Structure formats: C-alpha cells, structure tokens
Amino acid sequence: MVFFLVPFGFALAISFAETAIRVPPYTDVLSIDHHHLHLLLKADNYRYLLTDPVYVLSYLYSLKTAFFSTLICLAIGYPMAYAIARTSRGTQTLLLLVIILPFWTSFLLRVYALEGIIREHGLLNQALLWLGLIHQPLKLMHTAAVVCISIVYSYLPFMVLPLFATLEKLDRSLLEAAADLGSPPWRAFLDVTLPLSMPGVIAGSMLVFIPAIGEFVIPTLLGGADNLMIGRVLWDEFFGNRDWPVASAVAVVFLVLLVGPIALYQHYQRKDLEVAA
C-alpha cells in the first residue's frame, strides 16, 4: 500500500501542475481580485490569437519545419540504423555508444558548436571558399534551412535508436524467403523490412517531431526574424511582453492542436499493441 500511495500522492500533486494549469480559468487565480474580469478577458485572448496573423503563421511555420526536419532525420537515420543492425553484436554496442554520446553532452553546447561551423566566417564557408566553389561567404545564419539542419543534427540520435531497436529484431529468414521466392533485394526491402520496421519509424518520428515543433533554442540562436516558431513566440510573449494570459492561450492551443492528437494516437497505438500481444 505504501508503494502505491506514496508515488500516487506525489504524482497527483504533479498532475495538478500539468493539467489544471492548462485549463484557462486557472490563470484567474493569478489576479485574485479580478475574478470576473479575468474570465471575460480569457475569451478575448483566444480571439486575439486568430486576429493577429503572427500566431497562425508561426503555428504553420513550426508545423512545416518540424515536418521537414523529421523527414530528413528519417532519410538519414534509417540507413544508419539499418547499417548498425547488420553489424556484429560487439560492433553494435560500440556504434550505439557512438550515436548516444552526443546526446549525453549538452544540447545547448551542440547547437553552439554547429553555429561555429555555419556562421559567416565559419569552417564551412572557409572550406568552400578555399575549394573555390563559392566566391562570397554564404549567408547561412538566420535562414530556414539552418534551423532545419540543426534540428536534424540535434535529434538524429532519437531517430536512430528506436529504428535500430526494431530493425535489430527483424527476422532475417523472412528476407531469405523473399529472395527464394524471386524478390530482388529492393523489393524484399519494400515488402518485408519496411513494413516490419514501421513501429520504429513511427516512434522515431514522434521523438523528433514533438520536441522539434516546440523548439525554442534553435530558432532563437540560429533562426532569423522570419523563422518565427511557436516556441519562440511563446517565450517572447511570456518574457518579452509579459503577457501571461496570451502566452497561456498560445500554449493551450498549441497543446490541443498539435500535441494532443499525437499523444492520443500514441496512446491508442500502444493499446493496439497490447491487445495484439
């Protein structure tokens, strides 16, 4: 009973932290003297989100950025995971350590490291200039491409690990059977490997997509004025404009529109798996 009640009590307290606050009326506690006033204001905040195009545009922009970053991560991460899965066990452990190691170092410092390469006088431009491929340094900083690249760079391990986990368990004899039945390797890959690794693809994509969509550090450090992602809008609203009700409204809409569906989907998928098992 102790084992059950103690964590439950704590978790219950924590849950209030995370569910109760998401509900808009909660913020009226903030200004206890203006109960009614605040509740009225609340609806205005949501209307305000719709009238100011900044919010809608940054939602869409975040969605787009996260989508493309996830796609690129998948395109790079899948062959990597596949290659690791096909090496011997000892090599696998080593390669996995190599993939995980950057994740254990600081995320912030890694973004900063990337900045050192792509800034105007950074290594990339110098190398390209030296090779004679370009004559003017490329202005890569503060572009949408750089935001995408650094998201891929930061979250690639999240994609590789779940993919590896599913690919490693894959039964090789299925591929042999496909080959025996006359399937060329690419066909066998499409018919056997890809469908069987779908759980890994989905898990990896989630792990990249969700943090990418709320990303704050990368667009702030590397993005420009027109790469407004929702995380940054939220931050500015909160710390810059000190408009907490609007920031909360942005957060609620963010959660309901973008994260909620993903979380629900994941929940039901896990249920399906449990039923299947």
Partner 1 sequence: MSERPPGLLLTFLGIGIALLYLPMLVMIGYSFNASPLVGIWGGFSGQWYRELVQNAQLMSAAWLSLRIAFLAATAAMVLGTLAAIALVRFQVFRGRFLLTAMVNAPLVMPEIITGITQLLLLISMLHLFGWPHRGMFTIVLAHVTFCTAYVTITVQSRLASADRSLEEAAMDLGAGPVRAFIDTTLPIITPALASSWLLSFTLSLDDLVISSFVSGPGASTLPMIIFSKVKLGVSPDVNALATLVIGVVGVGVVIAGMLMRRADQQRQRDLQLAAQ
Residues of span 167-196 touching partner 1 by CB under 8 A: 168, 170, 172
Closest distance between partner 1 and the C-beta of residue 169, in Å? 9
Q: Which of residues 70-99 bind partner 1 (CB under 8 A)?
A: 76-77, 79-80, 82-90, 93-95, 97-99
Closest distance between partner 1 and the C-beta of residue 13, in Å? 9
DSSP single-letter state for residue 141: T
Q: How many residues bind partner 1 (CB under 8 A)?
A: 94
**Pair 38, 31: CB distance under 8 Å:** yes
- Alpha carbon 261 to its chain's center: 15
Closest distance between partner 1 and the C-beta of residue 216, in Å? 5
Distances (CA, A) of 70 to 42, 78, 144, 163: 34, 12, 14, 13
Between 27 and 65, CB nearer to partner 1: 27
In angstroms, the CA 261 to CA 267 distance is: 10
**Pair 69, 208: CB distance under 8 Å:** yes
Between 84 and 192, CB nearer to partner 1: 84
Q: Which of 156, 161, 178, 188 binds partner 1 (CB under 8 A)?
A: 156
| Relative orientation angle of helices 53-85 and 198-213, to the nearest 10 degrees | 140
> Binding mask 108-127 vs partner 1 (x if CB under 8 A, - otherwise)?
xxx-xxxxxx-x-xxx--x-
> Binding mask 224-263 vs partner 1 (x if CB under 8 A, - otherwise)?
-------x--xx--xx----x--xx--x--xx---x--xx
- Alpha carbon 106 to its chain's center: 17
Between 7 and 184, CB nearer to partner 1: 7
- Largest interatomic CA distance in the chain: 77
Specify the stretch interacting with partner 1 by CB under 8 A; choose among 19-27, 45-53, 140-148, 192-200.
Answer: 19-27
In angstroms, the CA 3 to CA 125 distance is: 58
> Binding mask 196-225 vs partner 1 (x if CB under 8 A, - otherwise)?
----------x---xx-xxxxx--xx----
In angstroms, the CA 232 to CA 254 distance is: 12
What sections of the chain are H helices per DSSP? 2-18, 35-51, 53-85, 89-104, 107-118, 123-131, 144-169, 172-180, 185-188, 194-196, 198-213, 217-221, 230-235, 244-254, 260-276
Q: Which of 100, 190, 198, 257 binds partner 1 (CB under 8 A)?
A: 100
Specify the stretch interacting with partner 1 by CB under 8 A; choose among 14-22, 39-47, 138-146, 188-196.
Answer: 14-22
Q: Which of residues 40-69 bind partner 1 (CB under 8 A)?
A: none
- Residue 162 engages partner 1 in binding (rule: CB under 8 A): no
